[in-house]
Amino acid sequence: MPRAHITLDKQAVVAPVRRRTFGSFVEHLGRCIYTGIYEPEHPSANEDGFRMDVVELVRELGSTTIRYPGGNFVSGFRWEDSVGPREKRPVRRDLAWHSLESNQVGLDEFARWLKLTGSELMLAVNVATRGILPALDLLEYANHPSGTALSDLRVANGTPEPHNVRMWCLGNEMDGPWQTGFMTAEDYGKVAARTAAAMKMADKDLELVVCGSSGSGMPTFGDWERTVLEHSYDHVDYISCHAYYQEHDGDLGSFLASAIDMDYFIDTVVATADHVGYKRRSSKKIDVSFDEWNVWYLKEHQESQEVNSEQVNAEWRHAPRQLEDVYSVADAVVVGNLLMTLLKRSDRVASASLAQLVNVIAPIMTEPGGPAWRQTTFHPFSITSRLAAGEVIRPLIEAPMYTTARYGEAGVVDAVATVDEDRAAVFLVNRDVAQAAQVTVDVRSVGSARVIEAVTLADADVYAKNTLAEPHRVVPKVNPSATLVDGVLSIELPPVSWTAVALR
């Protein structure tokens, strides 16, 4: 049995827990919106057509910030289509996902939905196929109180109070050839800089996110960030990172160590941003908005697209089923570990968005006219969002190592902790595919006296999933092995598991 020892030092503070770390993402893609969050005919729907069973799950998930309306969708989006009387809104073709968009859910409706969930709006503007003036128009519509043409239009449309959106994304994945209107780093950097400067002329306190690479595997990774920031550094506040992971060819060991790649990604982007800042003799720091991350069976999606390309290109449908991945225990352990990594990097990761929220590579699934349920990945996210508070503590981890084909050496056990005035929380993963791990955690520095909660997500079948037929097949269970004696927590972690322990 592998053994690991972890020491918590209350002085080893990384940064305060940033609540925006627990953000998510809603895009007009597949069934994320339609029959996901919005289904007027559903028995649980409110007067706006929103499914209240989904609202309750989003509240439980603990999402703090929701990025909207895309994603690739935003690069062909005319925001004006989505406001005003619903019966007058045009149906448009969405080239990003080859579907029809009815625009029945738009900015004002989505903002009302956010109030139900208690989440903050993070809004993306279309800099790919539009430009500065439409971005300024959207800003005026969304944020100006009243007394101007577009703010008065919002009021006339039934929303008297401004949305007061603070965080704005300047496009999406502009380095990707799949993106409508994609650009070179040089061209995008100039457009982003001009758009950002104009938006801050309207409101100097906006928080603006410039597009970084759409993945660390892009051939322009690193150079893209440098070039874009050399143009936009003075006008933006964050640079985005996007990363998706999946098991390849049965290599579970590498998949379970995916957090190593995320950490490398953050390190590289931060170093590049700081390099540009040093060159400019700037005291300003550009932080990271990791506004797309998740497990996604991307390889299977791409293969399916190739096989069915003729059928896909012949059809334009409203809200077709797309990217409805069903997640396993192993997927949930990786999601929990990725979230732990984002917490560990709270010194520079200011915001993050689990992509996406409902039906589309999502922790929440729905059936039209039927139930909503939690995927396996729901649980580590919701529990971490609930328990993580105060300050992030970087633990000292002594654990056996194993070799992965993709990421080199990885620790069998990984951990992070948070501490506030009332409690401490320790989050752990066991990446061993065959053996339980015996772990001790020295918590004397944080002054904890008892275990108040200890739950583990694991299963004898690491590929067990929650489905419509078995929505509760995989749930976190109390870990009875957790004991605290003389300031040392002892706990056994099953193979391929994620665990959270709260102490007081």
Q: What is the helix (H) or strand (E) element at residue 463, kind and residue range?
A: none
pLDDT per residue as tens digits for the range 89-124: 999 999 999 999 999 999 999 999 999 999 999 999
pLDDT per residue as tens digits for the range 344-372: 999 999 999 999 999 999 999 999 999 99
Q: Which residue has the higher pLDDT, 78 or 309?
A: 78
Residues with a catalytic annotation lie at: 173, 292
pLDDT value for 308: 63
pLDDT value for 310: 58
Mean pLDDT within 320-330? 97
Mean pLDDT within 371-398? 98
pLDDT value for 361: 98
Average pLDDT of every residue of the chain = 96
pLDDT per residue as tens digits for the range 398-423: 999 999 999 999 999 999 999 999 89
Q: Can you list the positions of beta strands (E) in 167-245?
A: 167-170, 207-210, 238-245
Mean pLDDT within 202-221? 97
pLDDT value for 367: 98
Mean pLDDT within 314-329? 94
Rounded Cα–Cα distance for residues 203 and 222 (Å): 30
Whether 313 shows a pLDDT value over 90: the answer reads: no
Whether 470 shows a pLDDT value over 60: the answer reads: yes
Q: Which of these, 122, 93, 333, 296, lies nearest to 214 by C-alpha position?
A: 296
Q: Can you list the positions of beta strands (E) in 312-411?
A: 349-355, 364-366, 372-374, 391-393, 396-398, 401-404, 408-411
Q: 198: which 2 tokens?
A: 């104009």
* SS3 letters across 409-436: EEECEEEEEEECCCCEEEEEEECCCCCC
Rounded Cα–Cα distance for residues 52 and 43 (Å): 9
Please name the residue that has the structure tokens 């996901």.
36
Long-range CB contacts for residues 110-116, cutoff 8 Å, separation at least 24: 110/26, 110/68, 110/69, 111/159, 111/163, 112/48, 112/50, 113/37, 113/38, 113/48, 113/50, 113/55, 114/66, 116/46, 116/50, 116/52, 116/55
pLDDT-based confidence at residue 253 (cuts at 50, 70, 90): very high
pLDDT value for 309: 59
Q: Give me the residues paired with residue 3 across strands.
A: 438
pLDDT value for 129: 97
pLDDT value for 262: 98
Mean pLDDT within 281-292? 97
Q: Which of these, 367, 384, 362, 323, lies nearest to 26 by C-alpha position?
A: 362
pLDDT value for 307: 62
pLDDT value for 301: 82
DSSP single-letter state for residue 445 = G
pLDDT per residue as tens digits for the range 444-455: 999 988 999 999
pTM > 0.85: yes or no: yes
Determine phi and psi for 158, rounding to 5 degrees: 100, 15
Indicate the pairing of strand 451-457 with strand 497-503: antiparallel
pLDDT value for 300: 83
pLDDT per residue as tens digits for the range 148-169: 999 999 999 999 999 999 999 9
Determine phi and psi for 309, rounding to 5 degrees: -60, -40
pLDDT-based confidence at residue 299 (cuts at 50, 70, 90): confident
How much is the CA Rg of the chain, to the nearest whole Å?
Answer: 23
